[in-house]
């Protein structure tokens, strides 16, 4: 019987499913006592993670937390991205192509998440950003060591970038190590060579500290793959996975540029760069040039 409330519901009475109306009973088997057991918060170290947001604005500005969380979560995704790229590179080195492709597939999903995150930061208006910008001082996303590690792993090597981290011996050493190692693409080319593809020897013994540049003979190799996909399916699929990764990376770059232009216009960046113009020049960089050049030949 109804209790006379306007919504017709009865307070605290059974809803016929073992619980009260609009309430779910906690099942008897659910763990409640964590005095001697590992909890969700303990496993994820949430005490550390959620205490890492320390706004500097004084007086406090509402939108600074958004700016901090946006960039901290990006760094977490970059950490996972590096984990997957390193694994894919190592798997190619041992000719384990199938699991390497699995890693690359996950990389693309991480990239999509990173790109989608820009839509949250885009809610920051120029007026709101102006309130927190002074507290950023000279800090800038340009100084993200993990982002540079991703670029180095994908082949965009630049020794000058290592100098940005001269103040941090550990970070500088890690980036310098990647600078001198083969990239993911370099390992793919070495894999192709071991499988009998005519990869020019000069590409297998080059200076790893330099970015890879387009090679006509390598375009010929990929042209033969794309001319008969069924005969080269694993390699063909890997080529397309790499193109997907680069395409996703360029989408991230472009969305970054759009958000910066929307929020600060053409101001100089906090780290001293030209801002939008600097970001726009990055769109001309490519990791896997032959995989784009070969498309001109397909069907000719």
Binding site members for heme: 256
Cα-to-chain-centroid distance, residue 298: 31
Residue showing tokens 């192709």:
192
Q: Which residues are annotated as a binding site?
A: 67-71, 129, 133, 256, 270
Query: Distances from the Cα of 69 to the Cαs of 5, 129, 230, 265, in angstroms?
Result: 43, 14, 46, 22
Q: What is the 3-state secondary structure (H, E, C) of the chain?
A: CCCCCCCCCCCCCECCCCCECCCCCCCCCCCCCCCCCCCHHHHHCHHHHCCCCCCCCCCCCCCHHHHHHHHHHHHHHHHHHHHHHHHHHHHHHCCCHHHHHHHHHHHHHHHHHHHHHHHHHCCCCHHHHHHHHHHHCCCCHHHCHHHHHHHHHHCCCCHHHHHCCCCCHHHHHHHHHHHCCCCHHHHHHHHHHHCCCCCCHHHHCCCCCCCCCCCHHHHHHHHHHHHCHHHHHHHHHHHHHHHHHHHHHHHHHHHHHHHHHHHHCCCCCCCCCCCHHHHHHHCCCCCCHHHHHHHHHCCC
Distance CA 73, CA 242 (A): 25
Distance CA 246, CA 283 (A): 11
Distance CA 282, CA 158 (A): 13
Q: Which residues are annotated as a binding site for substrate?
A: 67-71, 129, 133, 270
Cα-to-chain-centroid distance, residue 241: 15
């Amino acid at each position: 019987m109804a209790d006379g409330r306007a919504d017709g519901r009865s307070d605290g009475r059974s809803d016929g499913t073992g619980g009260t109306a609009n309430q779910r009973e906690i099942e008897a088997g659910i763990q409640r006592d964590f005095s001697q057991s590992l909890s969700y918060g303990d496993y994820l170290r949430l005490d550390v993670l959620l205490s890492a947001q320390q706004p500097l604005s004084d007086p406090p500005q509402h939108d600074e937390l958004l700016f901090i969380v946006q960039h901290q979560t990006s760094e977490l995704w970059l950490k996972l991205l590096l984990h997957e790229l390193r694994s894919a590179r190592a798997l190619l080195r041992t000719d384990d192509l199938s699991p390497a492709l699995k890693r690359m597939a996950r990389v693309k999903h991480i990239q999509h998440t990173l790109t989608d995150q820009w839509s949250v930061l885009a809610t920051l208006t120029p007026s709101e950003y102006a309130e927190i910008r002074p507290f950023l001082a000279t800090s800038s996303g340009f100084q993200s060591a993990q982002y540079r590690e991703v670029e180095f792993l994908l082949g965009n090597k630049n020794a000058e970038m290592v100098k940005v981290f001269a103040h941090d011996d550990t970070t500088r050493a890690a980036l310098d190590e990647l600078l001198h190692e083969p990239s993911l693409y370099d390992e793919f080319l070495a894999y192709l060579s071991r499988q009998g593809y005519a990869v020019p020897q000069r590409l297998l013994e080059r200076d790893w500290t330099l970015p890879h540049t387009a090679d006509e003979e390598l375009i010929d190799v990929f042209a033969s793959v794309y001319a008969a996909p069924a005969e080269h399916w694993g390699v063909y699929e890997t080529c397309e996975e790499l193109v997907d990764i680069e395409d996703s990376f360029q989408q991230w770059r472009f969305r970054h540029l759009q958000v910066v232009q929307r929020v600060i216009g053409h101001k100089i960046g906090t780290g001293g760069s030209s801002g939008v113009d600097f970001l726009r020049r990055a769109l001309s960089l490519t990791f896997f040039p032959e995989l784009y050049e070969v498309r001109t030949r397909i069907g000719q």
